[in-house]
Amino acid sequence: MLNRCMLGLLFFFLTALLNAADELPKTLLSERGKELLADDFSKQPDKAVWKIAKGKWEAIDGATKASEIKDDKHPGVIRHALAFKDAVFQFDFKFDGGKVTTLSINDAKEHVCRVLMTPTGFRAQKDDHDHDGPDKALPFAQKAVKLDDGQWHTMVVEILGDSIAATLDGKATSFGSHELIGTQKANFGFTVGGESVWYRNIKVWEATASKDWEATKAKLKEAK
């Protein structure tokens, strides 16, 4: 009888641990909908779906190591075609000598917005959409966090309507709004400047507004 009880308790705790491991980080503005993409980046990026424009991207030990090539005189760049308007992005990253890395969101011709991460912090921003014209990049709240600690970090990026919210490890959030963010997007990708940054577990879902997203948006604006 005792053995059965012990086995039952062991099964219960193992199930709880597995469920906790599968639990997704919370979102602030939106609800996750249909999964649009899932790539653990444990293998060499598939050239049929990932376009490597610059840099070195190599799968090592279950993750992808991205590095800038000095002769390119340009950050490493990889992109994935994906048509969407509202979405939730989630990925793990780890600095390993890199100076900067970004999640870049683009329309068919130009940059729309991004989340920029450095060894000392991160921020979301609306991008310069015309380069030589009057439009300029608009940085949102800069969050000071030590990221060159050799640890994996999880970033959740919500793009909903005209707003973007980037949350690191379920704690700090950089938030901002601009009408450009609410336009149709065509692709996303990552950029890497410096020696290397690691990536794994890239996921994208359709996003719909949570029931209290307007109230949350107002709080995030106040917290800038």
- pTM summary value: 0.88
Q: Which fold has domain 32-222?
A: Jelly Rolls (2.60.120)
What's the pLDDT at 2?
45
* Strands 143-144 and 76-84, sheet pairing: unpaired
Please give the single-letter amino acid code of residue 182.
G
What are the angstrom distances between the C-alpha of 88 and each of 59, 120, 126, 137, 207?
24, 24, 17, 22, 6
Over the stretch 109-135, which tens digit does the pLDDT of each residue have?
999 999 999 999 999 999 999 877 788
Dist CA 34 CA 118 (whole Å): 31
Q: Is the pLDDT assigned to residue 143 strictly greater than 70?
A: yes
The full set of domain ranges for the chain reads 32-222
Over the stretch 146-200, which tens digit does the pLDDT of each residue have?
999 999 999 999 999 999 999 999 999 999 999 999 999 999 999 999 999 999 9
CA atoms within 13 A on the CB side of 28: 26
Instruction: Fill in the DSSP letter of residue 133.
Output: S
Please give the single-letter amino acid code of residue 217.
K
Dist CA 186 CA 114 (whole Å): 14
Over the stretch 49-103, which tens digit does the pLDDT of each residue have?
999 999 999 999 999 999 999 999 999 999 999 999 999 999 999 999 999 999 9
The alpha-helical segments, DSSP class H, found in 35-166 are: none
